Amino acid sequence: MRFRQLAVWALGFGATTAAAAATLYRGATLLTLAAAAAPIPDGYLLVGDDGRIAAAGAGNGEADPAVAAAKAKPGFAVAELKGRIVMPGFVSGHSHLWQSAFRGIGPATELKAWLQALHYTYGAHFGAGDFGAFTKHGAYDQLRHGVTTTYNHSHWFGRNFAWYREQFEAEQETPQRFVFAWVNEGQADDAVWRERLRPAMAAVQPAPDRALLGLSINATGIYRGPALFAREIALAKEFGLTVQVHYLEPAASQVEDRAAWPKFKAAGAVFRGMSFAHFIHPDDVMLGEAAAAGAAMIWNPLSNGRLGSGLPPIERYLEDGLRVGMGVDGQASADISDPFENVRFGLYALRLRRENSGGLQPIDVLRLHTLKTAEVLGVERWVGSLEVGKFADFLVVDPAEPATGPVWDPAAHLVFACSSRNVAEVYIGGRKVVAAGKVLGHDAAALEADVAARIAGMKRKAGKL
C-alpha cells in the first residue's frame, strides 16, 4: 500500500512574480539530483507556463522539441545563467516552524533541559495569533535559505483547536510548500479526530501554485500511553497517512528509549509509513526491523550537534536498507535554517567518525536533502528533483556572490564552499519568490516587529522580563 500525503485547504501563492509564460533557463551548471544523475556543466531547464518542468538537459536546449514548442507561444522568455548553479529546492523532512522565534534558548542544554527551557517555560503562555506569527516567521526564514518544501511537525501545548490550527493556516499564506504533521487532541475521541481530518481529505489538490502538499500524523501517544498511540497509528492507516515520531534522540536516555521499541511493534507503528525523527541510538535488531518494514529516519545534523544528541551511523543505515532523509529541525535547536550548513556539518561529522573521506560524498548528501527526503515524505512525484512533470521548484545559486572561488566540482562546491548567502533566487512552481535574500511581496519588518512584541509579552507572563 502506498501511503499518500494529502493536500489540505490549499491556497494559491501570495505576492510573487508570476510565471506568465514558459521560460528557458540556460547556461548554468544544472544539478537535477534525479537518481544517479550527474551534474551537467552547461545545461538548460525549461519551465512551462503551467509551473512544471517541461524539459531539462545539456546544451542550450535549441534542439529540444519541447523548447521549440514553447518558443512558438506568446511571452516565451530566456534567462541566461552563465556562472550560476541551478538545483532543486531543499526539502526539510523535520521542522518546527514556530520555533523560529526562540533561537539561542538553552545554549548549554541537552534535549530534556532544552525542552524545559522552551516548551515547559513558554508553552503555557501562547495566546491567540502567536502560533500563526511564529510559523510565518519560520517559513519565510526557511524559504530565504533555500528550503522550498518542509515537513512542519506541529505542537499543541494544550491550547484550543483554533490556536493550534494557526500553524497550518499561517503557512498557507506563504509560498513555501509544506506537509503538515497533525497532532490529534488526546482528550478527543475518534469521531472528533475524523471530523477534523475529513475536510482536509476532501481538498486534496497538489498543484504548482498550491503551497500545502500533504497531511501526516505527529504521533505523540508513544510518550502518553499505548492506547492513545495505537489509536493514532490506526487513524493514520485508515486515512492512508504517514506518521512521524521523535525517537531515540538524546544520548542520555537511549537505554530507556530503546526499551519502548516493543510498544511500536505492538501498535503496528513499524511500517513503511513511519519516519523516525532522529533515530540516533537503535540497536542492531531495531535497525533491521525498521529497514525490513520499509520505515525511514530523518537526520538532523545541526540540531543533533547543538543539543549533543549524537551522530547516527548514516552510512550503516543506508547499507542496511533504512530509508534516510534530512531535516533542518526547529530554529530553536538548529538555530539557522541553512541547508548548506546542514549537509556540510553532517558530512564532516561522518568523516570525523570514519577518520577518512570515504563513504558518502557531496552529491550524496545533496540528494539526501532533496529527492530522498521527498521520497520519505511521499511527495517525490511533485518535488525533490528537477525532472519533467515535476513542479518547477528550484534555486539559482551564485558562487560569485559572495565570492567562493572557481568551481572545480559543482556538488562539492555547493557543500563545501557555499551557504544560503549564495542563493540568488528561489522559484516555486516557476514563480520567483525570493531574490537577493528577500521574499518578494513580504513585509519582513512588520512581521519581525510583531514577533518581537509577542515574545516580549510571553517573557513578561513567564516572569523572564
Instruction: Note whether residue 9 is domain-resident.
Output: no
Judge if 359 and 414 occupy the same domain: no
Mean pLDDT, rounded, for 117-124: 97
Cis, peptide link before residue 208, omega less than 30° from 0: no
Lowest mean pLDDT: which of 89-98, 111-120, 152-161, 323-332? 152-161
- How many structural domains are present in the chain? 2
Identify the CATH number of the domain in which residue 187 sits. Answer: 3.20.20.140
Q: Which residues pair with 68 in a beta bridge?
A: none
Per-residue model confidence (pLDDT) at position 6: 38
Q: Which cell goes with 223?
A: 510518550
Judge if 44 and 162 occupy the same domain: no
Per-residue model confidence (pLDDT) at position 197: 87
Residue 2: pLDDT band with limits 50, 70, 90:
very low
Judge if 312 and 414 occupy the same domain: no
User: Which residues span the domain enclosing 283?
Assistant: 90-377
Residue 18: pLDDT band with limits 50, 70, 90:
low
Mean pLDDT, rounded, for 328-335: 97
Judge if 315 and 394 occupy the same domain: no
Instruction: Note whether residue 2 is domain-resident.
Output: no
pLDDT digits (tens, 9 = 90+) for 209-232: 999 899 999 999 999 999 999 999
Q: Running DSSP on this structure, what letter comes out for residue 265? A: H
Assess whether pLDDT exceeds 70 at residue 14. Answer: no
Judge if 241 and 291 occupy the same domain: yes
Judge if 256 and 267 occupy the same domain: yes
pLDDT digits (tens, 9 = 90+) for 389-424: 999 999 999 999 999 999 999 999 999 999 999 999
Judge if 165 and 238 occupy the same domain: yes
Per-residue model confidence (pLDDT) at position 4: 38
Whole-structure pTM value: 0.96
Instruction: Note whether residue 65 is domain-resident.
Output: yes
Collapse the DSSP code of 215 into the 3-class scheme (helix H, G, I; strand E, B; otherwise coil) and give the result.
strand
Mean pLDDT, rounded, for 415-441: 98
Per-residue model confidence (pLDDT) at position 11: 41
* Residue 80 CA to its chain's centroid (Å): 29
Instruction: Note whether residue 393 is domain-resident.
Output: yes
Residue 426's identity, in one-letter code, is: V
Phi and psi dihedrals of 33, rounded to 5?
60, 20
Per-residue model confidence (pLDDT) at position 128: 96
pLDDT digits (tens, 9 = 90+) for 31-73: 999 999 999 999 999 999 999 999 999 999 999 999 999 999 9
pLDDT digits (tens, 9 = 90+) for 270-287: 999 999 999 999 999 999
Q: Distance of CA 428 to CAs 4, 14, 28, 386, Å? A: 22, 12, 18, 12
* Residue 389 CA to its chain's centroid (Å): 21
Mean pLDDT, rounded, for 361-375: 98
* Cβ contact 310:281 at 8 Å: yes
Q: Which helix (H) or strand (E) holds 222?
A: none
How confident is the prediction for the chain on average, in pLDDT? Answer: 94
Per-residue model confidence (pLDDT) at position 269: 98
Q: What is the C-alpha to C-alpha distance for residues 151 and 244, in angstroms, rounded to an integer?
A: 10
Residue 3: pLDDT band with limits 50, 70, 90:
very low
Q: What is the C-alpha to C-alpha distance for residues 337 and 213, in angstroms, rounded to an integer?
A: 20
Identify the CATH number of the domain in which residue 29 sits. Answer: 2.30.40.10
Judge if 75 and 125 occupy the same domain: no
Phi and psi dihedrals of 31, rounded to 5?
-110, 100
Beta pairing, strands 431-435 & 423-428:
antiparallel
Instruction: Note whether residue 110 is domain-resident.
Output: yes
Q: Which cell goes with 36?
A: 544517479
Lowest mean pLDDT: which of 19-33, 120-134, 394-408? 19-33
Q: Which residues pair with 435 in a beta bridge?
A: 425, 438
Residue 1: pLDDT band with limits 50, 70, 90:
very low
Assess whether pLDDT exceeds 70 at residue 13. Answer: no
Where do we find the cell 547516527?
312
Q: What is the C-alpha to C-alpha distance for residues 29 and 413, in angstroms, rounded to an integer?
A: 12
Phi and psi dihedrals of 427, rounded to 5?
-120, 140
Assess whether pLDDT exceeds 70 at residue 174. Answer: yes
Q: What is the C-alpha to C-alpha distance for residues 215 and 150, in angstroms, rounded to an integer?
A: 12
Burial class (CB in 10 A: 0-12, 13-18, 19+), 58: exposed
pLDDT digits (tens, 9 = 90+) for 66-108: 999 999 999 999 999 999 999 999 999 999 999 999 999 999 9
Mean pLDDT, rounded, for 121-139: 97
Give the angle 279-332-15 at the CA atoms, nearest 5°.
Answer: 110
Q: Where are the alpha helices (DSSP H) in 240-334?
A: 254-258, 261-266, 284-292, 301-306, 314-319
Lowest mean pLDDT: which of 165-179, 294-308, 384-398? 165-179
- Among candidate residues 271, 254, 286, the one with its CA nearest the CA of residue 110: 254
Instruction: Note whether residue 7 is domain-resident.
Output: no
Instruction: Note whether residue 349 is domain-resident.
Output: yes
Mean pLDDT, rounded, for 428-453: 98
* Residue 308 CA to its chain's centroid (Å): 22
Instruction: Note whether residue 451 is domain-resident.
Output: no
